[in-house]
A and B are shown apart, each in its own frame.
Chain A
Amino acid sequence: MIKKETVFKGTRDGLLIVLDDDCEFKEMMGNLKTKLQAAQGFFQGAQVTIDPGARKLTNRQKKSLSRLINSQAGLTLNDFVDDESNLGVDDEKGLLDEMDDPDQPKGLRPDLSRKSKLPVIFIERNLRCGQQVNFAGHVVVTGDVNPGAEIIADGNIVVAGALRGLVHAGANGDQRAFVAAYRLEPSQLRIAGAFTRAPDDESTGFSEQPEIARLQDGKVVVERNDTNQMLSLVQRS
């Protein structure tokens, strides 16, 4: 695969820079520098991985790349993608492994804010029975999640409407993941390895308040969560 230009990508591990295959190393470095400077501040705090593409990098070239990245405010060079092991491809798979239904919107918007390295997907409609979202990051739904719908996310899940389906936050074992919803009425709720379900007794009912579910000592704890806080969660996640 020949790529024409140096590309920046957001992944679950931070920022992935895929190097230009065509031009001289020196020229490529110049381009990269301009690009990084143009995007100054935007990638603050990101961990950078470099995918050399078809290019074979010498140790000296690696060093100068590393110097260039680390000289940019807030960026740290983490690693190079080894072309033999095809790590780059795997990363991308993890990033895009989002939905079973081909008709779902591809609203992928990686977020590289300081607080979280995971990408965020926005789903701007109702999730209906039989629809499933699998995402290696945070999931924000600006609609309802109906009974029979499923969300499985490595990160947090925030629902701005009624959450009545099945959700699994921190699906890769992240104990700090949470589930917040305007109406938290899931049929089943899982965080990392813990799981709860709706009470069988209908009379206990659900609260008419926005709520948030987190793990505390290995158990799911649900607490009230006022609306303002809820919105800030949307921004933060």
Chain B
Amino acid sequence: MGEVIVVTSGKGGVGKTTSVANLGTALALNDYRVVLLDSDIGLRNLDVVMGLENRIVFDLVDVASKVCRLKQALIRDKRFNQHLFLLAAAQTRDKTAVTPEQMRDLTEELKADYDYILVDSPAGIEQGFHNAIAGADRSIVVTTPEVSAVRDADRIIGLLEASEMAEVQLLINRIRPGMVKRGDMMDIDDIIDILAVDLIGVVPEDDRILVATNRGEPTALDNMSQSGQAFRNIARRIAGEQIPLMPLEAETGLMARVRQLFGIGS
């Protein structure tokens, strides 16, 4: 029996889709059978980030309204040999095209065959959010070290607690160790102090994410990337392993020092 994990945030642009793509990739690399479920109907992009856009035939709304069978709508990612599948959102419909009950049934069906179902939630607290959390067994709230993102994360955690979500864990994305060191950015303790939930991991800001997203290749596949390493660690924590937080080091080297000299942030 698998587990349904919703990845949500309240605020947009903090890295929900990137996190789902990378965590799914990392879990599949560890031999778990994974389904990535994009619940952002009308504004889908998990398929783009995964590089699977041109293979969509059926989508979430088709499955919910029984136009096709669930199996027909699952897009297999060939890179992962029967381990990673995507269920895309419909692009031409809106959030009301699916109900929380349909989502519950659908995730229940997926749980029978797969180890992890990662649900990519839309931004906001309206129906799309309620759809996304409907079938979830646990949740990961993504935030960035900004006051606005933390505020929205707090609101979302309140809503998750109110809907009796069994587990709420926090993923802090896009942290810049250099800025934290200089006191220009909220640090992990500040965020935990306000949100008072378990931390599942911290992902450093990484330019490679942008490149990887454009290419449709998650950074979790890139052994050289710090963010990829962070996502792989989080995936192992999701699976129950005890992995210590990776030490985050400020950017060093000549270029960084030159930039610091001229006062350009790293």
Contact = CB atoms under 8 A, between A and B. Distances in A.
A11 B90 CA distance: 53
A197 interface: no
Contacts of A129: 151-152, 154-155, 158
Contacts, number: 33
Interface in B115-169: 151-152, 154-155, 157-159, 161-163
A146 B195 CA distance: 8
Contact of A130 (B158, B193, B194, B196): B158
A128 B162 CA distance: 11
A101 B155 contact: no
Nearest to B152: A129
Nearest to A147: B151
Chain A binding surface, main DSSP class: loop
Interface in B183-205: 193-194, 196
Contacts of B158: 128-131
A147 B152 CA distance: 10
Interface residues of B, number: 13
Contacts of B161: 125, 128
A179 B234 CA distance: 41
Nearest to B162: A103
A144 B197 CA distance: 13
Contacts of B163: 103
Contacts of B159: 130
A131 B163 CA distance: 14
Interface string A110-127: 000000000000000110
Nearest to B154: A129
Nearest to B153: A129
Interface of A: 101, 103-104, 125-126, 128-131, 144, 146-148, 162, 164
The 9 closest A-B CB pairs, nearest first, are: A128-B158, A103-B162, A129-B154, A129-B155, A130-B155, A128-B154, A146-B154, A131-B158, A129-B151
Given A128-B161, A129-B154, A144-B196, 6 more contacts: A104-B162, A125-B161, A129-B152, A131-B158, A147-B194, A148-B151
